[in-house]
Structure 1
Amino acid sequence: MLRAIGLCWLVSAGQALACQTALMLSMDVSNSVDAGEYRLQADGLAAALRDPAIAEILVRDRVALAVMQWSGPDMQALTLPWTQMLGHAQVESFAAAARAMPRAFLLSDTAPAEALDFALRQFRDAPDCARRIVDVSGDGTPNAGGEIGQARRRAERAGITVNGLAIEGIGVAITNFYRRSVVTGDGFVVTARGHRDYARAIRLKILRELARVVSRAGAVPGPFRASNPRG
């Protein structure tokens, strides 16, 4: 009996320490993003990761993070490789690296299909996590590259969720494009009203993504629990 209880405890402890989410953060650095707007994105991402609510979940759920930058059809770069958040020191280190990372590309087109395919390939090297998610953020619609719908279908077949962060100027054209063509059936879109709103939007988005895992145990109450796919 004691041995059985001990085995059950070890299984439960192993499950508790298992990685819940592998999250690829994908940033648009195409020609429409100027130097100041890139800085707002990098600073906003770092601030979101340092948010106490997010940092707590990252550590508790052993979340694995990576950051990539993308623009034209042949321009994708893994800026920060997969790192599992095993303690608050690692969260702080990763946030600092995100804030300090140099811009990967300049003066190039917008090709989200190739960016998504590149992101999907990176999961070959990701830790074994319960859920796999790609964040695609951008401030424009495609002007180069392949058909994004095909890349989205490849993500769905692989069991990888794709969410979007649409950075709008006026109207909702980019938001509608992300809802219609980019996010998977279990995904959603968050809208930023310009790059200056990026920090708020990325914080909300990451909280909403992580809450989909922890809310099963009731750990995150409120509106994050009842999120609407593609909404």
Structure 2
Amino acid sequence: MGLDGQYGSLVIRAAALGLSLWAAPVAADEPCRLALQLGFDISASVDAAEYRQQRDGIAAALLAPEIISAFLDGPGPVAVSIFEWSGRFQQHVVVDWTLVTSQGDLVAMAERVMAQQRASVDFPTAIGYALGFAAQRFAAAPDCLFRTVDISGDGANNDGFPPGAAYAHFDFAGVTVNGLAIGGASINILDYFRQQVIHGPGAFVEYATSHDDFAAAFRRKLERELRVMILGGLALPTGQLPL
């Protein structure tokens, strides 16, 4: 069941109050360590209930203790943007670039996600266009040490140019593209994401067996993207360690 409307906002506020005693802010004047875009699938293969599972799972992850810790305990803030995608020209920004320096920033993002009404229905799956959209949006991002795109989806590209063409024609220099492959709608979706979607240094795929598993898989993936290791004085997001 989704956490719609006022009830969802109250749940988010209650969760935030429960965590407010230990969430220490990040100094806003420190260098941004990561610009992270989260793109989630709203194509025709995603029904209304599955859409709510994605939306609710993203909002819940933003307030999970381990995710708050991963955002706020690292060296420098993280910049986040969240968008929906489906067909060639159906990309919609849900949360514009936000520099996360406190728990309040995460609460505000979670509330914005919960308030979102689905931007489009019944369009095909244009992963290549979603990637091109994400690549162009980095121009508006803060200047960060690393850049990552996270694409969640339950189907292969079936509209417009494929992911490989996006990587050939848009600027993905130094950008890592991770994936969250959602099973149930397409056969071999995990292999497809591994072979066609992920890209760049340290890229990985997280797997959800179905939309029922989306929230847990999204939380695992987000924590992995946010955690850092210090090597030779340089902060490296987990998954971007040099080979």
Tell me the TM-score normalised to structure 1 length.
0.83
Alpha-carbon distance between aligned partners in 2 of 1:209 and 1:85, rounded to the nearest angstrom: 15
Whether the 8 Å contact between 1:156 and 1:184 is mirrored in structure 2 is: no
Whichever of the two has the greater Rg, that structure is 1
The whole-number CA distance in structure 2 between the counterparts of 1:108 and 1:134 is 22
Structure 2 counterpart SS, 1:163: strand
1:193 and 2:209 equivalent?
yes
Give matches, 1:142-157, under 5 Å. Answer: 142-154=157-169, 157=172
Structure 1 outlier segments of 4+, above 6 Å? 13-16, 226-229
> Which of 48, 70, 86 in structure 2 is aligned with 1:71?
86
Structure 2 residue 148 is the aligned partner of structure 1 residue 133: yes
Query: Which runs of 5 or more structure 2 residues have no equivalent in the other structure?
Result: 1-25, 232-236
Amino acid at match of 1:205: K
Deviation per residue, 1:72-110 (Å, 9 max, x gap): 111111121000111111111111211221111111110
Structure 2 counterpart of 1:203, which letter? R
Structure 1 contact 163–188 (Cα < 8 Å) conserved: yes
| 1:215 aligned to which of 229, 232, 238 | 229
CA distance in 2, matches of 1:47, 1:184: 27
For 2:60, which of 8, 23, 47 is the aligned residue? 47
Render the CA deviation track for 1:182-209: whole Å, top value 9, x for unaligned.
1114210000010010000010001111
Indicate if the aligned counterparts of 1:45 and 1:202 stay in contact, CA closer than 8 A.
Answer: yes
Could you say which structure has the higher helix fraction? 1
Residue 59 of structure 1 deviates from its aligned partner by 2.8
Counterparts of 2:240 and 2:135, CA distance in 1: 24
How many residue pairs align between the two structures? 210
Q: What percentage of residue pairs aligned between the two structures are identical?
A: 40
Shift of 1:168: 0.4
CA contact (8 A) 2:28 2:101 kept: no
The yes-or-no answer on 1:99 pairing with 2:114 is yes
**Alpha-carbon separation, structure 1, partners of 2:27 and 2:238:** 25
What is the CA-CA distance between 1:56 and the residue it aligns to? 2.2
CA 47–154 in structure 1, closer or farther in 2 if over 3 Å, else same: farther
Deviations 1:145-203 (A, max 9, x none): 11211213456742111000000017861111111011114210000010010000010
Structure 1 stretch 61-70 or stretch 189-198: which is displaced more?
61-70
Q: Which has the higher strand share?
A: 2
Moved more, 53-62 or 192-201: 53-62
Partners of 2:28 and 2:169 in 1: CA distance: 29
Change in 2 beyond 3 A, CA 1:157/1:93: closer
- Counterpart of 2:220 in 1: which secondary structure? helix
RMSD value, Cα: 2.6
Instruction: Provide the rounded CA distance (Å) in 1 between the counterparts of 2:165 and 2:112.
Output: 32
Tell me if structure 1 keeps the 8 A contact 2:154–2:186. Answer: no
How big is each residue's C-alpha offset from its partner over 1:24-70, in whole Å with a ceiling of 9 and x where there is no partner? 00011000000100000010011111111211222343111111111
Q: Whole-Å Cα distance in 2 between the matches of residues 208 and 56 of structure 1?
A: 12
Matching residue of 2:31? 18
